[in-house]
Amino acid sequence: MKKTTCIITSVFAFLMLISTQVHAQKFSKLDKSPLDIAYYRTDRKSPPMAKVIYSRPQLKGRSLETLAPNGKVWRTGANEASEIKFYQDLKFGGALVKAGTYSLYTIPNESQWTIILNSDTDVWGAYTYDESKDVLRVNAPVSKGESIEAFSITFDADHMYLAWGTTLVTVPISK
């Protein structure tokens, strides 16, 4: 009897083991516009003075004007509105900006882009953009550069650069 009970218990345990459903976490696929970060610092060993967190959409045969239309507020990348964090007070486009985190919007145009720092952060795209929360607006010149497939932001010692397609936007930045 004990042997039969043991066999029944073992069979029952085995059936329970194979009949339980495994609930795996579902992860989204790789984003088509991957997230990136650009730091502004005087050299690699220096602490950062600013950083931009943004997503990098790609042209994929489309025109820049289709993806970031002239004259309209753009989230300066893809997905969430891009964010810029100033670790200290800095001059950005010639104007003083207090340390803090801001959404980074732009209004593209042919000869210049309007660069906007806005106090409303952690927002999706520019759908809820509120001009009354603008902290700063500066105009930055457009020039032609090498062709860049994926939207990119980078810094050198004195400038922040935004590049996409053959469009290169230059914003002065300094202590």
Angle ∠(54,72,145) on CA atoms, nearest 5: 60
DSSP 8-state code for residue 17: H
- pLDDT tens digits for range 43-81: 889 999 999 999 999 999 999 999 999 999 999 999 999
Q: Where are the domains of the chain?
A: 32-174
So what's the pLDDT on residue 70? Answer: 96
Query: What's this model's pTM, rounded to 2 decimal places?
Result: 0.82
What order do you get walking across the sheet with 82-86 strand by strand? 35-40, 50-55, 82-86, 100-107, 112-118, 134-155, 159-174, 90-92, 95-97
pLDDT tens-place string over residues 78-94: 999 999 999 999 999 99
